[in-house]
Amino acid sequence: MQIIDAAVRVIMERGLADTRISDIAERAGVSPALVLYYFDSKDKVLSEALTYANEGFYLRISREILRLPSAREQLIRLIELSTPGLDAMDHQWDDEYILWLELYIRALRDPEMAKDREALDRRWHSVITEIILNGQQQKEFPEGDPDEAALRLRALMDGMSILLVLRDTDMTPERMRDACIDYAAHLIGFEVPERATAKS
């Protein structure tokens, strides 16, 4: 935990390419040998850091989403929780998205990192799919292919998240949230409540 927290901070500041094992060790207050004892490389540290961050994200999802009574409310809340910067007081998820960008870059050329990326993305995909499928089973959503709907929705969410993390001037958290909710409603087949489309 201590080493992973240190790695996240250093990678956030310098990027993975400019991060050294010795930098992580110094930030964690341990020896480089100890870092290498637990992690074979910087890439492995990045994968573990993202896995750790993801566990926190899914724990938050289970707390906030599963208590909501309808699949529509669950999906809307999932979109809100997945929008970087929507909660001005919560910077944790912004950090996680930056780690994701580092992982995507490494996955282009590293087969092991590509496997880690795919496993993490599959879990994200399954969360969206399950909400849609539950809504269909409860007759809240019309019949359709939940897997295909999840793929299209997460592609939009991931793409807009990247624009937010890159500080694109055309994208705001509110614009992402509203666009993703509107698209989900059109794609899956449900009505958007006024409270979800109101601008912050």
Q: Summarize pLDDT for 12-71 with one digit per residue, the tens.
A: 777 777 888 888 899 889 998 898 888 888 778 877 777 777 777 788 888 889 889 999
Say whether both 5 and 76 belong to one domain. Answer: no
What was the pLDDT predicted at 58?
80
Q: How many CB atoms lie within 10 A of CB 1?
A: 7
Total-model pTM: 0.80
Q: Give the chain's length.
A: 200
What was the pLDDT predicted at 200? 42
- Same domain, yes or no: 4 and 83: no
Distance, CA of 43 to CA of 109 (rounded, Å): 12
| Residue 191 and residue 111 in one domain | yes
Q: To which residue do tokens 């929780």 refer?
A: 81
- The stretch 102-118 carries a mean pLDDT of 85
In CATH, what number is assigned to the domain containing residue 147? Answer: 1.10.357.10
The structural domain count of the chain equals: 2
